[in-house]
């Protein structure tokens, strides 16, 4: 897992960028390393990228769910790496959970506690077949969008 903490005010509007992304066709290619990792963990739900693409196809476009959620979605769509956010400053992986001071969620969870403005920690998971550089690019993309 890779994470970084920074100050973010979480106010802004990324809807125009989401509309632009909705018109792009995602790249097809290799088997998704996140799908392989999730299968090995016994998780049958869609990967973050699969879920985002399915929602886009069903709704016809990416829909805005607020500034932070939109930044995380854009990072996912542009890099293929899921990014999550929390207010906890330090994180670790314990078994199949991501754990912080106030956080304990299953890896790849689609539901996390709300995140308040201020110190925000973005995190993403490194799995076999995905380099740490690719994961850091996803974090950098989200951080740049959030003004951090």
Rounded average pLDDT over 96-111: 88
What distance in Å separates the CA atoms of residue 127 and residue 134, rounded to the nearest whole number?
A: 11
In percent, how much of the chain has pLDDT > 70? 97
What distance in Å separates the CA atoms of residue 42 and residue 139, rounded to the nearest whole number?
A: 26
**pLDDT band at residue 29, thresholds of 50, 70 and 90?**
low
Residue 124 in contact with residue 79, Cβ under 8 Å? Answer: no
What distance in Å separates the CA atoms of residue 140 and residue 103, rounded to the nearest whole number?
A: 22
pTM of the model as a whole: 0.91
- 3-state SS class at 113: coil
**pLDDT band at residue 19, thresholds of 50, 70 and 90?**
very high
Beta-bridge mates of residue 5: 121
Check residue 14 and give its pLDDT. 96
The mean-pLDDT minimum among 27-36, 40-49, 110-119 falls in 27-36
Q: Is the pLDDT of residue 24 over 90?
A: no
Greatest distance between any 2 Cα atoms in the chain: 40
What distance in Å separates the CA atoms of residue 148 and residue 143, rounded to the nearest whole number?
A: 5
Backbone Cα Rg of the chain: 15
**pLDDT band at residue 37, thresholds of 50, 70 and 90?**
very high
């Amino acid at each position: 897992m890779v994470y970084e903490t920074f100050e973010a005010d979480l106010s802004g509007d990324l809807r125009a960028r989401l509309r632009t992304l909705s018109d792009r066709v995602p790249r097809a290619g290799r088997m998704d390393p996140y799908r392989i990792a999730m299968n090995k963990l016994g998780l049958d739900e869609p990967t973050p990228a699969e879920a985002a693409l399915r929602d886009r196809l069903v709704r016809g476009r990416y829909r805005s769910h607020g500034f932070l959620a939109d930044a995380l979605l854009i990072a996912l769509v542009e890099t293929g790496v899921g990014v999550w956010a929390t207010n906890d400053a330090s994180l670790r992986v314990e078994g199949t959970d991501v754990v912080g001071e106030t956080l304990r969620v299953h890896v790849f969870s689609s539901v996390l506690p709300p995140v308040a403005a201020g110190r925000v920690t973005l995190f993403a998971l490194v799995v076999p077949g995905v380099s740490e550089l690719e994961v850091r690019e996803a974090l950098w993309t989200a951080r740049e969008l959030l003004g951090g």
